[in-house]
Structure 1
């Protein structure tokens, strides 16, 4: 029977389990976790989330995109500021 070790995950190792009505999927290497109503949904969400985490897809929003969402770019802070202690 195939298994995994929490101490030394294999490259590309994922964990998938069910909690109530949701399937939970975790990419062991990155720690990224997602969920979905089906196994397929959870795994598709995980693929997208890992790609975002690795910078393979997505982009920083432009000022125009932020304004379309009702966010004033001048009133927001960026990652360049010091993070609160609980986020360090």
Structure 2
């Protein structure tokens, strides 16, 4: 049985603690990085970059839901032929 304290502890794990925040080279975007996980995000304002980082780190820790078949199709992915594989076997990560 989980308690409110357990839920707060789980939520706190997804919130970045050691963060770097910098202005991008072009000066039009802010870049936020969680130094503990290496997760990086960006946004047009500092606040947006930090909010996006919170969401990205939560996803890194497993929060969120798997995309629906319809969402995959909208991205040009055929759910029937979608296979996960090793990064070592991927042409993208050569």
State the TM-score, normalizing by the size of structure 1.
0.68
Q: Which has the higher contact order (CA 8 A, sep 6+)?
A: 2
Q: Distance in 2 between matches of 1:82 and 1:27?
A: 25
Q: Distance in 2 between matches of 1:84 and 1:52?
A: 23
> Whose helix proportion is higher, 1 or 2?
2
Partner of 1:52: 59
> CA 1:65–1:37 in structure 2 vs 1: closer, same or farther (change >3 Å)?
closer
Partner of 2:69: 63
Dislocated runs of 4+, deviation >6 Å: none
Q: Distance in 1 between matches of 2:18 and 2:45?
A: 19
| CA deviation profile, 1:17-60 (whole Å, cap 9, x unmatched) | 1121111100000000011110000000000000011012x122
Q: Secondary structure at 1:84's aligned position in 2?
A: helix
Q: Distance in 2 between matches of 1:72 and 1:85?
A: 20
Indicate the RMSD between aligned Cα atoms, in angstroms: 2.4
State the TM-score, normalizing by the size of structure 2.
0.64
Aligned positions, number: 74
Partner of 1:39: 46
Partner of 2:88: 84
Q: Which runs of 5+ in 2 are unaligned?
A: 1-15
